Structure 1
Amino acid sequence: MCDLLKRLAVVLLGGILLNCPAFANTSADSLEGSAGTGADALEGGAVMSADALEGGISASPIKCDGETPCIETSTGLPLQVLPRPFGNIYQDREANADAVVQANVQAFRPLYVFAREAIDLSNPAEPQGWYRVGSNSKQALGWMQARDALEWRQALVVAYTHPGGVSEGRQPVLMFKDAQSLRDIVDADDMAGKAGEIYAAIEKAEAPESVVSMEPKRYIDINRQFYILPILDWEQLDIYGDEVRLLQIAAAVPGQRGADTLSDSGYLDQASTGREVDQGAGLESLSIDIVFVMDTTRSMQPYIDMTRDAVRRMVQTTGDRLKDKVKFGLVGYRDSVAAAPAVEYTSRNFTPDLVDANTLIEVLGNDGKATTAGSLDYAEEVFAGVDTGLRSNWRPGALRFLVLVGDASAHPRGHPQNTTGKDETDLRRELDDAGVHLISIHLQDERAAEDHDRAVAQFGQLAEVRGSEGQQALVQVNAFKEGDFQSAVDSVVGGVVSRFEQSLALRSLPPPPPMPEYSAEPDAAAQGQMAMNKVWEAALIEYLGKGARPPKDIVAWTMDRDLTNPTDVALEVRVLVTREQLSSLVQALDRVLQAFKKAELSQGQFFEALQSVSGQTLKRPEDIGRAQSLAETGLLPAFIQSLPYRSDILSLSNEMFASLTAEQRVQLEWGLQAKLAQYRAINEQVDAWHRLNESDPVSELVHPLHIDYLP
């Protein structure tokens, strides 16, 4: 795991620049640690160490042959530019109206650069020169003036975070026309109050001229409504001891055009629509999928029966009126069948296609029974169960819920009985990307008290509520009080269906029912109700976001935090990877894993093993033998080395490999296997890939990958 990622979680952008314009004469000395219009400004910054950014992402030599896209030599990446609004492409290097090949090119939709002529970016306000550009990597269209385009050097993007609940969520991102207008708010004695006045004015359709646009109040999930937010410039500030960034961004939506500003009443209306009221979100088509992921080892039969009873009671209450609206699934998990063959399976999906409630009752009574065989230890393959449940055959557009029920912790990543190579952190990210919300019910047996803390940490992280930092949909139940479990599962199953019916009837996001009176240890029913309310609100907010659209075709200044509460992160970092890049990364990591295993078996050096397994895939395999680190082998894709983050894999050397303990080697190997599994899963998801240009081939489709998915 990259140690920088922990910092990114706290100081989100951490000085990372996305596809910033290259300003050749920008001095690192004059900008060090405080601001920047290029990567040079980041050198020595407070958030990223000098080691992490050595060499930076500053402008490096660019090689152009005129026939294929220009290549930045240090990264091996093709050079692209983002057209500014109202830019034209000309037949030649003359801005004549008669020579226009394409007028009013779509703003901020990336174009490939085939040639650079007389480029001078020393004065950012008046860039000089011409770019020969094309919409794909095969053919150039014509020439574009440098003043009409921004060079795009990196693959890092930012995305809006989940805004959280209706009453406690963050405010939408405000976009200011210039940096000074934003500074005036940030520097005010009462920043939150000043920002609040702007939000109040926007509600009255009286937005100040200083505010160009605004993120919609409803959540826009970049995985489902794709957009790009390049960073053009930035400044670092300290607020209450926390480092934040003021960012100049460009907003774009591939395939769409037209500036979205608050002066446009149509955009203002849709951006101002709250998360708590539905106005055309199509709740009449709302449906929900609930998949139970249950421990089916020998101690669990009473709880399987009580889950069946809870579903039966739900059916008795609702009848057939929700038969097509609510579907169910069941996944059972036990232990590694390789370690304990008598358990019959590690995890099993009993509902390849989701079923109605009556069918689930039958499945729970017949197929989903607990085993009578014992496992080798107390821990079970919880992660395998969640991984299987995550890949259920979800219906398009349905709200997705997993209900995890178990009494034991999971085998950690690297444990011989961990069959997935994943842990709670890996699965939590995958749940977020898949739009699946998880409720955990942990049964606690006092005879296994030493396992409780580990299990609660795992079950709790899996049940983190999206958009609500620190909140978990976790229910803890005494395993010897079966009535408590019955109350908890009744609250979850009945509560989800009850809220669903309220939503269909009210055509709005209903307020949650009143919570039971507070107690230091809420009873099981109250815990179940609170857990259900949390995930229901988060899920429905995502659903309502389908009716919103992100702003586009603007350049503005904003802050990466909530102006009214700067502890709330408003933007997160992603890496825009092409399908071809992800495939090359998979191939490279696969060879690294082969080398790990070969070095272990032969007790040889890591790079000798790597040279052996890579000999037929590299033009000069002898370079591996001379390399001092994995980064120098040329094996990993160039774009990985160009990113400003620290990777333990890139710095891996023979000496480092030899110094690793057996446990550290296992953790490293399993960590890479987990990432490979994630990459392959992403590659198989058709709707996870997006076109920046209509003519892009399949290999150039892009995906906004979490930066902590990187090796």
Structure 2
Amino acid sequence: MAILKSTLTLLIVVLMPSLLLGAVQQHPLLMEGKQALYQRVLSKPGAHFYEEIQKAKSKPATPFSVFYVYNRKTKNGATWLQLGHNRHGELAGWMPETETIPWNQGLTVAFRDPVGNDRVLLFNEKDNLKALIDSNDKEKYRQLYQAAESGELDDNSPVIAIQPRTHIDILKDFYLVPIRDHEDIYIGNEQARILQVSSVPLLPAVESKKADVAPKRAKASDKKIKPFRSAVVFVIDSTLSMDPYIDRTREAVRKIYDTITKEDLTGDVSFGLIAFRDNPQAVPDLEYLTQTYVDLQQGQDAAGFFNQVSSLKAATISSRDFNEDSFAGVNEAIAGIDWQGQDARYVVLITDAGPREAGDPLSGTGMSSASLRQLAQDKGIALSVLHLLTPSIMADHSKAEETYRDLSYYPGIGSFYFGVETGNVERFGRVLDALATQITEQVKLAAMAAAGKNMALERQAKNNQAEQEKETDQLAQFQAKVAKLGYALRMRYLQQNDKQQIPNVFNAWLVDRDINKPRRQTLDVRVLLTRDQLSDLHGIMHQVLITAEEGLLSPRTFLHDLKSLAATIARDPEQLGTTTRVTGARQGNLADMGFMREYIEDLPYTGEVMNLSLENWQDWPAREQISFINRLEEKINYYQVLHDHTDLWVSLDGGPISGDSVFPIALEMLP
């Protein structure tokens, strides 16, 4: 008996490593035609895990969580997937395939605001959409669009859904539109992409019975729609010689407060003010880089605003050169002001100097105009620039104008830049008065429309906007853009109780450009990352750049590491750190492993890095190479700022913001 026990013990000892090794060697299924990319899926809202196929549910899955596919089985005509939390064999359970979305790349799209433009049509088959585009049949498109818009699509229609008529804030009503397949096509002379997508809201649609009850309850309790609120934060240069513009800004705000009081809109329009100078480490007597004089709570009424701003004076000494850190002031307005509850959000930069951009050793932000603009758009803020073109032999106004135009660009409308010739104070005052008056008028129109009054005024405002767009005068064009943005924001506000939702469509085809206006993009391409993944990306990119600057990476390895990083983000962010040499990946980067092409091919959209070859890099002059590296550093700084803005992140399980919270990052902000 003792011999038998000894034999069994020895057998277990011998077999145990093999058993353990067998468990470790379990891998997910590969994507078709791939050697290194595994099949992945997203769990739909409401999905559950099962310990065994068609047995009792074990636990719910967090919506839009990513899982690896380890096995597929069909039972009673239904396909089931065995899913794992990672690619290392940690299994989660079984799930019906119908409760998942294929997620073989991390790209998703978000619908742009449709106000003033056609909404996106979703088709049942690629061939139907492609035939419509190829034939350029405007009449057929019009008929399909009208049927979809009126909700009168018949069973034989190739259109199965239409983009909601209202703007849906992805941070308030989170949704995903993952890209499953694509095909390049031309609409006229514009290159476009036909995309196969799934369209899934995080929360289920409100049932019709409940939707019918809601208005009655609201009426019974006499519940009113919340007032439309606008906020304007002035970011004003307070360096030498700016006193006349500071005084004129005070005057403009005082006029608006008088109007607000007369119209009984006190509290519905708030003003804030932030002053900026320049890096005090370079010139200590400047005293500060930025200073918030008035926040939006203090600026709800005239007394609060002017009590706070009374001490604002221009500096008595000059900054180091003609550039000043206006970006630090704008960043403080975006990050330091509490914008919660504001339906329309404006930041107005007033300066006569060029900005300190990323790469400038005196920059307080390390951010570019593109990064700062994206951060503002992430928070729903429109940036305007009143650029005082004061005479100076030192000023490079043309370069500053180019940067400020880029900073103040708003998608679908244009740049909110206004250059004040010679810095004329009277001209500056007229522009400021016009801007502030328009914003206040928007609040008045929204209040009337919400009360069901004077919708004719809203229509007249729309007509006035159309007339202004025809004007060639700079101020009229500027006002037309403000009016267009204001109209879009009011429509969002007035339709907030209209429970529009992204259509819940598992398989549809759409095109990423407006069929009637091919130059207009209808979608924003994004990559869904967790907060932890963004932190990893920040660290690895920083490490790649530092190592390259120290001369420890050859140009080839530098580019291959960057391309590996970009491709990994688009394909499988869970693998960050395992596909770059600089992080000590055992097999090197994707080029070393021979998988670079496999990762990049089939992606419908690629960023700047993935399209850059070693030959192109070596052909670039030193200035262009430095500019490229500066752009990467700007993105690294953006990642840090975005990571720290916890109000932008979405917790899919309803819990507090954590490393698993997600944000759909614009593709152009990735490497």
TM-score (structure 1 length as normaliser): 0.71
Offset of residue 373 of structure 1: 0.8
Q: Work out whether 1:347 is the aligned partner of 2:290.
A: yes
SS at match of 2:191: strand
Quickly say closer, same or farther: Cα 1:87–1:661, change in 2 above 3 A.
closer
1:362-398 residue CA offsets vs partner (Å, 9 max, x unmatched):
443313x111211232222222221122113223230
What is the rounded CA distance, in whole Å, between the counterparts of 2:211 and 2:667 in structure 1? 31
Aligned to 1:559: 511
What is the rounded CA distance, in whole Å, between the counterparts of 2:46 and 2:364 in structure 1? 54
SS at match of 1:328: strand
Percent identity between matched residues is: 25
Aligned to 1:115: 70
1:304-355 residue CA offsets vs partner (Å, 9 max, x unmatched):
1011011111222222833322222111222333333332223322235642
Offset of residue 527 of structure 1: 5.5
Structure possessing the higher radius of gyration over alpha carbons: 2
Tell me if structure 2 keeps the 8 A contact 1:336–1:381.
yes
SS at match of 1:566: coil
Offset of residue 598 of structure 1: 4.5
SS at match of 1:582: helix
Quickly say closer, same or farther: Cα 1:695–1:405, change in 2 above 3 A.
closer
Tell me if structure 1 keeps the 8 A contact 2:580–2:589.
no
Q: Work out whether 1:315 is the aligned partner of 2:242.
A: no
Offset of residue 574 of structure 1: 0.5
State the AA in 2 paired with 1:559.
Answer: V
**Out of 383, 408, 425, which is 1:463 matched to?**
408
SS at match of 2:635: helix
Aligned to 2:333: 389
**Out of 166, 174, 178, which is 2:125 matched to?**
178
SS at match of 1:409: coil
Q: Work out whether 1:305 is the aligned partner of 2:250.
A: no
> Which residues of 2 match residues 689-704 of structure 1 at below 5 A?
689-692=649-652, 698-704=658-664
Tell me if structure 1 keeps the 8 A contact 2:238–2:315.
yes
What is the rounded CA distance, in whole Å, between the counterparts of 1:675 and 1:185 in structure 2? 39
**Out of 152, 161, 173, which is 1:225 matched to?**
173
Q: How many residue pairs align between the two structures?
A: 603
Aligned to 1:161: 112
Quickly say closer, same or farther: Cα 1:618–1:183, change in 2 above 3 A.
closer
**Out of 141, 144, 160, which is 1:195 matched to?**
141
Offset of residue 129 of structure 1: 6.7
Aligned to 1:291: 233
Offset of residue 427 of structure 1: 1.4
Structure 1 residues 571-580 or 239-248, which shifts more? 239-248
What is the rounded CA distance, in whole Å, between the counterparts of 1:243 and 1:657 in structure 2? 26
Q: Work out whether 1:435 is the aligned partner of 2:380.
A: yes
Aligned to 1:645: 606
Offset of residue 431 of structure 1: 1.4
Structure 1 residues 110-119 or 229-238, which shifts more? 110-119
Aligned to 1:370: 314
What is the rounded CA distance, in whole Å, between the counterparts of 1:665 and 1:195 in structure 2? 46
The structure richer in helix per residue is 2
Structure 1 residues 505-514 or 312-321, which shifts more? 505-514
Quickly say closer, same or farther: Cα 1:623–1:353, change in 2 above 3 A.
closer
Offset of residue 291 of structure 1: 0.3
State the AA in 2 paired with 1:562.
Answer: D
Could you tell me which runs of 5 or more consecutive residues in structure 2 were left unpaired when the two chains were aligned.
1-20, 215-221, 559-575
What is the rounded CA distance, in whole Å, between the counterparts of 1:283 and 1:666 in structure 2? 53
SS at match of 2:665: strand
Aligned to 1:208: 154
What is the rounded CA distance, in whole Å, between the counterparts of 2:469 and 2:617 in structure 1? 53
**Out of 526, 532, 537, which is 1:580 matched to?**
532
Quickly say closer, same or farther: Cα 1:373–1:535, change in 2 above 3 A.
farther
What is the rounded CA distance, in whole Å, between the counterparts of 2:223 and 2:192 in structure 1? 34
> Which residues of 2 match residues 51-62 of structure 1 at below 5 A?
none
Tell me if structure 2 keeps the 8 A contact 1:66–1:115.
no
Aligned to 1:18: none
Structure 1 residues 309-318 or 417-426, which shifts more? 417-426
Tell me if structure 1 keeps the 8 A contact 2:544–2:582.
no
Quickly say closer, same or farther: Cα 1:290–1:281, change in 2 above 3 A.
farther
1:415-459 residue CA offsets vs partner (Å, 9 max, x unmatched):
333332222211111111110012221222244597232222222
Aligned to 1:13: none
Aligned to 1:537: 487
SS at match of 2:419: strand
What is the rounded CA distance, in whole Å, between the counterparts of 1:640 and 1:685 in structure 2? 31
What is the rounded CA distance, in whole Å, between the counterparts of 1:208 and 1:449 in structure 2? 67
What is the rounded CA distance, in whole Å, between the counterparts of 1:327 and 1:189 in structure 2? 48
Aligned to 2:668: 708
State the AA in 2 paired with 1:645.
Answer: T
Quickly say closer, same or farther: Cα 1:431–1:205, change in 2 above 3 A.
same
Tell me if structure 2 keeps the 8 A contact 1:106–1:257.
no
Quickly say closer, same or farther: Cα 1:458–1:286, change in 2 above 3 A.
same
SS at match of 2:490: helix
SS at match of 1:302: helix
Q: Work out whether 1:419 is the aligned partner of 2:364.
A: yes
SS at match of 2:639: helix
> Which residues of 2 match residues 50-129 of structure 1 at below 5 A?
65=23, 70=28, 79-82=39-42, 91-93=51-53, 99=55, 101=57, 109-110=64-65, 112-113=67-68, 115-117=70-72
1:266-313 residue CA offsets vs partner (Å, 9 max, x unmatched):
999x9xxxxxxxxx9975332121100111121211011011011111
> Which residues of 2 match residues 521-670 of structure 1 at below 5 A?
522=473, 524=475, 526=476, 529-544=479-494, 546-547=496-497, 548-595=500-547, 598-599=550-551, 645=606, 648=609, 667-668=627-628, 670=630
Higher relative contact order (CA 8 A, sep 6+): 1
1:582-636 residue CA offsets vs partner (Å, 9 max, x unmatched):
121122233334435655xxx9979999xxxxxxx999999879999976699xx
TM-score (structure 2 length as normaliser): 0.75
Tell me if structure 2 keeps the 8 A contact 1:257–1:553.
no
What is the rounded CA distance, in whole Å, between the counterparts of 1:351 and 1:420 in structure 2? 21
State the AA in 2 paired with 1:294.
Answer: I
Offset of residue 648 of structure 1: 4.1
**Out of 270, 276, 280, which is 1:337 matched to?**
280
What is the rounded CA distance, in whole Å, between the counterparts of 1:562 and 1:297 in structure 2? 46
1:232-275 residue CA offsets vs partner (Å, 9 max, x unmatched):
333332221222222222111224269x9xxx89999x9xxxxx
